[in-house]
Amino acid sequence: MKIGFIGDVVGKPGRNMISTHLKSLRKEFDIDFVIANTENASHGFGITAKNAVELFNSGIDVMSGGNHTWDRGDIVECMNTMPILRPYNLPDLVPGRGAMVCDINGSKLGIINLMGHFTMPMCDNPFLKAKEAVNLVKEQGAEAVFIDFHAESTSEKTALFAMLKGEVSAIVGTHTHIGTDDLTVDNGTLFLCDIGLTGCRDGVIGVDKEAPIKRFLTGLNYAFDIPKHCKKIFQMVVFELQGRICTEAFKIKIYDEHEREITKARYE
């Protein structure tokens, strides 16, 4: 099976890039299933029920989240009716689920959403919870396992890969909105420290540059805004699985409407 994963979708520009490109990319690269982190999809903070439906209709199959999952209240009920994950290592009393198993053309894929500790809201140890979640989805019949690790620290993400390499199929980081260049397949496990945002590329991590600059100059809080007009980017990792093993992986970048870059993974 061939899987696509899209990183932090930021606001309407990110949603527009998905509606413009995703269905044609699914057809071109014969992608069976698409996962996307959408915790910034509604004006940069959380995702509304309306925008969730829009993104599912644009070709996304499962959504993952992170520290902004709860910024839009109406998404809570959707977690009971739509394939939307929140971090697995949040406290047990938090609504929703952090792991699921999906049947894809007769094969079972376990999908896990985790959140890091460094600079993030209160959550349980992601390393201990990762082991628990991997065992859970495997007990439910999943041979292949994908993890979206929503974390600030590159060391946390790299350490999780070192711990689970050879046990899961893919670990891709989200949250920083800045893509890294370490796309690697090692011992059959795909790793990318951060996939980077899908949305505006000429501001600061997807938002208009004025508020972040004022924050850095003064130390005061200014409200972030999503530009109505900007230069945009679409970023997706595509990987093929044979059982648990990742046999092929590459990253697609599309700038605005036409310019495209494809980067193949390094194999160790």
Q: Name the nearest CA neighbour of 232 among 14, 38, 6, 8.
A: 14
Using pLDDT thresholds of 50, 70 and 90, give the confidence band for residue 219: very high
Neighbours of 218 (CB within 10 A): 9
pLDDT tens by residue, 20-39: 999 999 999 999 999 999 99
> Model-level pTM greater than 0.85?
yes
User: Over pLDDT 90: what percentage of the chain?
Assistant: 90
Q: Does residue 100 have a pLDDT over 90?
A: yes
Q: Does residue 70 have a pLDDT over 90?
A: no
Neighbours of 12 (CB within 10 A): 19
The pLDDT value recorded for residue 33 is: 98
Query: Average pLDDT in the 235-257 region?
Result: 97
In order of their start, the domains of the chain are: 2-267 (3.60.21.10)
Mean pLDDT of the chain: 96
First to last CA, the chain: 22
Q: Does residue 74 have a pLDDT over 90?
A: no
Catalogue the active-site residues.
Answer: 68
